[in-house]
Amino acid sequence: MKKKVCLLGSTGSMGVQSLEVIDELSDLLEVEVLACYSNADLLIRQAKKFKPNAVVIIKEDLYQQVKDALWDDDIKVFAGESSLCDIVEMSSIDIVLSCIVGVAGLKPVYRAICCGKPIALANKETLVVAGELMTQAAVEHHVPLLPVDSEHSAIFQCLAGEWNNPVEKIIITASGGPFRGKNADFLKSVTKEQALKHPNWSMGNKITIDSATLMNKGLEVIEAKWLFDATLDQIEVVVHPQSIIHSMVQFADGSVKAQLGLPSMKLPIQYALTYPQRESNKMPRLNFADYPSLTFEKPDTQTFRCLDIAYRASREGGNRPCVMNAANEVAVALFLQDKIGFNDIPDIIESQLAEIPFARPKSIEEYLEIDQEVRRRLQGSVIRGQGLERD
Ligand code: MN
């Protein structure tokens, strides 16, 4: 019996790589559902190749185009956000792989957890924004949350067979991004083209900017806290520019286990989909002679303020990580539109954290309301010169 995958966010960078993995392991895995936001052309091509039972296009005005293109392929076509939430409950689905970018991934993943579907999680926001609700529901419904983020996959792999052994520390590695070693003055005038040149990883634009600001590592610290039930004091970030060690776990006896490999998202995707099995594949192998020196340094949190902002937001809890995440998304979008400078990103996040009062959301809907409020506030701002000020 093949494992039937529901792939949410199939047309993004992670979704496309996930389909490559499924294609290479086609005697073990098959696509049951494909869902994307608006890239109808790619969704149609993917559907014709992988022959899922159903597809969902979230942007409803594209429904007819997709429906027409797939009319003789015997594939059900649905549209809209509520269809996305309904479809994860389909009884034929064995695992839901969420590659959706942003908070749009919250509702469908929560629904999938609540109906007992195992989750392979590539969407960071799910745990950053609503980690408490998600992990509670996962425990309640006995649902495994399998990490797809490379660092968390590494930690998960280090923990395999160690479930009863106390963990002292989780050590998350960071490449440091394209501006490692630069100072705040240099960062003032960097362009999006410079920021998008990641030294090791090929990823979507938003996460590549997050990687340059170190916010990506901040989001990953929060993700790790929920996934592995760790305290923030147990989670340490170390800069490792070669990105060969994907993360580490230090146990109570002082022993440190690390997971290594070439920087590719395909291995974490495969491990989440085939867990607990390891399947052979044709991915390139790590050759140690190509990496004569693996180096480590402390992150520069004075220059790259986003990492400390994330620790602080997570420590305070409640709506803080949600506010931070939404403000960061807006700020990154503005930076990508050349409307603000690189150093304005942490300023915008801090301003929203200062202005929006602390609260403890009780439902996914309440989290999404806060997310919307941050976006509304920032849209009401005007951009003057390099800075973003309130109207
Ligand atoms: Mn990562």
153/247 same-domain check:
yes
167 strand-pairing partners: 251
User: Is there a domain that residue 219 lies in?
Assistant: yes
> Over the stretch 53-104, which tens digit does the pLDDT of each residue have?
999 999 999 999 999 999 999 999 999 999 999 999 999 999 999 999 889 9
**pLDDT of 390 higher than 70:** no
What is the 322 CA–ligand 1 centroid distance (Å)? Answer: 19
Q: What are the distances in angstroms from CA 219 to CA 131, 199, 214?
A: 11, 20, 9
What is the 131 CA–ligand 1 centroid distance (Å)? Answer: 17
**pLDDT of 389 higher than 60:** no
What is the 36 CA–ligand 1 centroid distance (Å)? Answer: 22
| Pick from 23-37, 322-336, 367-381: least confident | 367-381
131/73 same-domain check:
yes
237/252 same-domain check:
yes
What's the mean per-residue pLDDT of the chain? 95
What is the 228 CA–ligand 1 centroid distance (Å)? Answer: 15
158/254 same-domain check:
yes
What is the 189 CA–ligand 1 centroid distance (Å)? Answer: 26
Final residue of a domain: which of 147, 171, 193? 147
What is the 152 CA–ligand 1 centroid distance (Å)? Answer: 7
What is the 125 CA–ligand 1 centroid distance (Å)? Answer: 12
User: Minimal CA–CA distance to 216: which of 307, 106, 313, 300?
Assistant: 307
| Rounded-to-integer distance, Cα 120 and Cα 283, Å | 20
**Tokens describing residue 326:** 């939404």
User: Is there a domain that residue 202 lies in?
Assistant: yes
Final residue of a domain: which of 88, 118, 147? 147
Q: What angle do CA 246, 249, 253 make, to 5 degrees?
A: 150
Q: Any idea what the CATH number is for the domain that residue 123 is in?
A: 3.40.50.720
Domain count, the chain: 3
**pLDDT of 383 higher than 90:** no
What is the 348 CA–ligand 1 centroid distance (Å)? Answer: 23
155/302 same-domain check:
yes
User: Is there a domain that residue 281 lies in?
Assistant: no
What is the 238 CA–ligand 1 centroid distance (Å)? Answer: 13
User: Which run of H or of E encompasses 346?
Assistant: helix 344-355
Q: What are the distances in angstroms from CA 284 to CA 28, 260, 354?
A: 21, 13, 47
252/329 same-domain check:
no
The predicted structure's pLDDT at residue 101:
85
110/215 same-domain check:
no
For 193, the domain range is 149-265+294-306
Match 């009062």 to its residue by tokens.
357
What phi-psi label fits residue 279: left (phi over 0), alpha (psi between -120 and 50 degrees) or beta?
Answer: beta
User: Is there a domain that residue 276 lies in?
Assistant: no
What is the 66 CA–ligand 1 centroid distance (Å)? Answer: 32
pLDDT class of 384 with cuts at 50, 70, 90: very low
Identify the burial level of 277 via C-beta atoms within 10 angstroms of its C-beta, where 0-12 means exposed, 13-18 middle and 19 or more buried.
exposed
> Over the stretch 131-187, which tens digit does the pLDDT of each residue have?
999 999 999 999 999 999 999 999 999 999 998 999 999 999 999 999 999 999 999
220/111 same-domain check:
no
| Rounded-to-integer distance, Cα 117 and Cα 10, Å | 18
| Rounded-to-integer distance, Cα 18 and Cα 14, Å | 6
121/163 same-domain check:
no
Mean pLDDT to the nearest integer, 247-261: 98
**For the whole model, what pTM was predicted?**
0.94
Q: How many residues does the chain have?
A: 391
129/159 same-domain check:
no
What is the 79 CA–ligand 1 centroid distance (Å)? Answer: 30
321/388 same-domain check:
yes
109/33 same-domain check:
yes
Mean pLDDT to the nearest integer, 189-196: 94
User: Minimal CA–CA distance to 131: which of 215, 229, 210?
Assistant: 229
The predicted structure's pLDDT at residue 161:
95
What is the 266 CA–ligand 1 centroid distance (Å)? Answer: 12
What is the 62 CA–ligand 1 centroid distance (Å)? Answer: 32
What is the 349 CA–ligand 1 centroid distance (Å)? Answer: 21
What is the 243 CA–ligand 1 centroid distance (Å)? Answer: 10
User: Which run of H or of E encompasses 245?
Assistant: strand 245-251
What is the 60 CA–ligand 1 centroid distance (Å)? Answer: 31
Task: Kindly report the number of other CB atoms within 10 A of residue 157's CB atom.
Answer: 22
Final residue of a domain: which of 119, 147, 175? 147
> Over the stretch 299-349, which tens digit does the pLDDT of each residue have?
999 999 999 999 999 999 999 999 999 999 999 999 999 999 999 999 999
